[in-house]
Amino acid sequence: MKNRFITWIILLAIIVGLSACQPEKPKSTGDAAAKQELVLAIGGEPEAGFDPITGWGRYGSPLFQSTLLKRDSSLNVINDLATGYEVSADGLVWTVKLRSGVKFSDGHPLTSADVQYTYQTAAKSGSSIDLSNVASVDAPDESTVKFTLKEPQSTFTQMLVATGIVPKHAHGKDYALKPIGSGPYKLVQWDKGQQLIVEANPDYYGKQPSFHKLTFLFLDEDAAFAAAKAGTVDMAAIPAAFSKQTVSGMELKALQTADNRGIMFPFVKAGGTTKDGYPIGNDVTADPAIRKAINIAIDRKALVQGILEGHGTPAYTLNDGLPWFNKEAVFTDADMAGAKKLLADNGWLDADGDGIVEKGALKAQFNLIYPSGDVTRQSLAIAAADMMKPLGISIKVEGKSWDDIEKRMHADAVMFGWGSHDPLEMYNVYSKKYGGVEYYNPGYYNNATVENYMTKALRATNEKDAWAYWQKAQWDGQTGLSAKGDAPWAWLVNVDHLYLVKSGLDIGKQKLHPHGHGWPITDNIEEWQWTS
């Protein structure tokens, strides 16, 4: 955590600055002009800027840009820039029709050439957008875009949902700092490390938002909570630790998510190194009895109540609550007796009486690392380790920088967080293709049956046909990537996203939130309004 004294100085400076350069703070009552402005402290600053080609908007609203498709509050795919799309019978050609009359915020018309440029540039960038399956992007006329894939890909829908369109004529090296788009807002001012000011885009083709001006403050959790108590913000994202405190004039909104936290286990035995020389594998966590025993011994409800103050749900898979979630993958946890029997039946016994079970010369002990500075992950890691002590498994919890985690995550267990509206994330996290690739599958999980199910899911010609295969990959009654099968992870909790919201501010019907990167709460910004 940052030094609290420094945090308060930064907060004071921002509040003074806002008082000097802004109109009077908008209230839930007052004149009409004041009610058209909001001040928000809802998440971290996007250090890489606001370019969709480098990843902006992947986990939430692009804000400045619009997308071909989008998801409604029930996660159904609906049109945005597109008026419709068709997929060929073989699943290889996706033809998208664009709405007419759309303009970028600089007045230039948006045409198929901009869509073509966006996807071609993203494919070449090597960014977080995986377009490696795209063979070509064509623009046969100004209102038509044709994507030709190398192989059918059911998850290509999400590429059309999550990729904001940039202007071909104005996409240069400084674009991320000064974005131009066709979304509901346009950037006015960005004071790095402090605030971002945006104004409504008058040329936006959709429903005009109720708020003409938004100011985003980049505050850490303590400072955001202090700003809410001081009445200087209309909304503040807060951690569960602050959720029990009442703040005058503010209401707590607990939004459900697929934003999970879980323990990744090295799946293979120790031996060998990565190309960078980092160790691979762990003899203890490579034993399925250890992984399964941990999964069934953990009391997830206790973690939700004790660590999240009740603001969350137990997590059993990477995708709880999403359309492709397999409910059959859920199992009974908090079963210490069952976990002890499972270990004993598989040769893990405390022969020397030191409280740690062993199998031959191998002691059931390993490291669990988490990103230092993340209080929630730290608390979950410590609590999970404490729950394992009666089981005879000794877990050493360590907080490390992300640089250190990258060096150790192939040989040590790690407390990670994921969660997406895209089933492709499940493939990335569990596929052998990504074994050891960045943060995807660092434990080198591999199951040929699971891989086959996921490949069939990818090659389906539409999302809904793919869901049955994603579900079988989790658990088919015999094997799977869930704890009933190989248990390469111990998923712990889905974390509610908590916000203090000014009384009278209606933020509409929120969809199930993904992982917390970006500002997913603004995904429906056009629906926000004062009700009193």
SS (H, E, C) 513-532: ECCCCCCHHHHHHHHCEECC
For residue 140, what are the domain limits?
52-176
Quick check: is 181 in a domain?
A: no
Q: Which residue, of 226, 255, 284, is where some domain finishes?
A: 255
For the segment 60-89, the average pLDDT, to the nearest whole number, is 92
* Same domain membership, residue 229 and residue 159: no
The mean-pLDDT minimum among 303-307, 422-426, 490-494 falls in 422-426
* Same domain membership, residue 98 and residue 170: yes
Confidence tier at 34 by pLDDT (50, 70, 90): low
Instruction: State the pLDDT at residue 7.
Output: 40
pTM above threshold 0.85: yes
* Same domain membership, residue 338 and residue 312: yes
**CATH number assigned to the domain comprising residue 62:** 3.40.190.10
* Same domain membership, residue 273 and residue 418: yes
Higher-confidence position of 58 and 377:
377
Higher-confidence position of 6 and 53:
53
How many domains does the chain divide into? 3
Share of the chain above pLDDT 70, in %: 93
Confidence tier at 60 by pLDDT (50, 70, 90): confident
* Same domain membership, residue 238 and residue 101: no
DSSP label of 56 = T
**CATH number assigned to the domain comprising residue 485:** 3.10.105.10
Quick check: is 185 in a domain?
A: no
**CATH number assigned to the domain comprising residue 211:** 3.40.190
- Show Cβ contacts of residue 258 under 8 Å, excluding neighbours closer than 6 positions: 319, 320, 321, 322, 419, 420, 421, 494, 512, 513, 514, 515
Quick check: is 323 in a domain?
A: yes
Instruction: State the pLDDT at residue 11.
Output: 44
Quick check: is 531 in a domain?
A: no
Nearest alpha carbon to residue 86 among 76, 99, 75, 97 = 97
Instruction: State the pLDDT at residue 342.
Output: 98
Quick check: is 198 in a domain?
A: yes
Q: In whole numbers, what is the pLDDT of the chain averaged over residues?
A: 91
Confidence tier at 47 by pLDDT (50, 70, 90): confident
Q: Which residue, of 176, 202, 236, is where some domain finishes?
A: 176
| Distance between CA atoms of residues 181 and 347, nearest Å | 61
Instruction: State the pLDDT at residue 414.
Output: 98
* Amino acid sitting at position 466: A
Q: Which residue has the tokens 């902006």?
A: 56
Indicate if the pLDDT at residue 156 is higher than 90.
yes
Determine the straight-line distance between the first and last CA of the chain, rounded to whole angstroms. Answer: 37
Confidence tier at 435 by pLDDT (50, 70, 90): confident
* Same domain membership, residue 299 and residue 218: no
Residues 424 and 441: beta-carbon distance below 8 Å: no
Confidence tier at 515 by pLDDT (50, 70, 90): confident
Confidence tier at 400 by pLDDT (50, 70, 90): very high
* Same domain membership, residue 334 and residue 240: no
Instruction: State the pLDDT at residue 128.
Output: 63
The pLDDT tens digits for 290-299 are 999 999 999 9
In sign, the C-alpha dihedral spanning 216, 401, 301, 244 is negative
* DSSP codes of every residue in 415-477: EEEE--S-THHHHHHH-GGGTTBTTBSTT----HHHHHHHHHHHHSSSHHHHHHHHHHHH--S
Higher-confidence position of 532 and 333:
333
* Same domain membership, residue 458 and residue 343: yes
Share of the chain above pLDDT 90, in %: 82
**Can you state the percent helix, strand and coil of the chain, rounding each to 5?**
30, 25, 45
Query: Which two structure tokens, joined as six digits, stand for 316?
Result: 């059993």
* Same domain membership, residue 209 and residue 99: no
Quick check: is 528 in a domain?
A: no
The pLDDT tens digits for 94-126 are 999 999 999 999 999 999 999 999 999 999 886
For the segment 191-205, the average pLDDT, to the nearest whole number, is 96
Instruction: State the pLDDT at residue 32.
Output: 58
Q: Which residue, of 205, 236, 255, is where some domain finishes?
A: 255
For the segment 271-286, the average pLDDT, to the nearest whole number, is 95
Residues 165 and 156: beta-carbon distance below 8 Å: no
Quick check: is 182 in a domain?
A: no
* Same domain membership, residue 114 and residue 41: no
| Distance between CA atoms of residues 425 and 454, nearest Å | 11
SS (H, E, C) 360-417: CCEECEEEEEEECCCHHHHHHHHHHHHHHHHHCCEEEEEEECHHHHHHHCCCCEEEEE
* Same domain membership, residue 64 and residue 149: yes
φ and ψ of 212, to 5 deg: -75, -35
Query: Which two structure tokens, joined as six digits, stand for 28?
Result: 């839930």
Nearest alpha carbon to residue 499 among 162, 148, 257 = 257
The pLDDT tens digits for 238-270 are 989 899 999 999 999 999 999 999 999 999 999
Quick check: is 348 in a domain?
A: yes
CA-only gyration radius of the chain, Å: 24
**For residue 395, what are the β-bridge partners?**
366
* Same domain membership, residue 40 and residue 60: no
The tally of CA atoms less than 13 A away on the side-chain side of residue 21 is 12
Indicate if the pLDDT at residue 455 is higher than 90.
yes
* Amino acid sitting at position 202: P
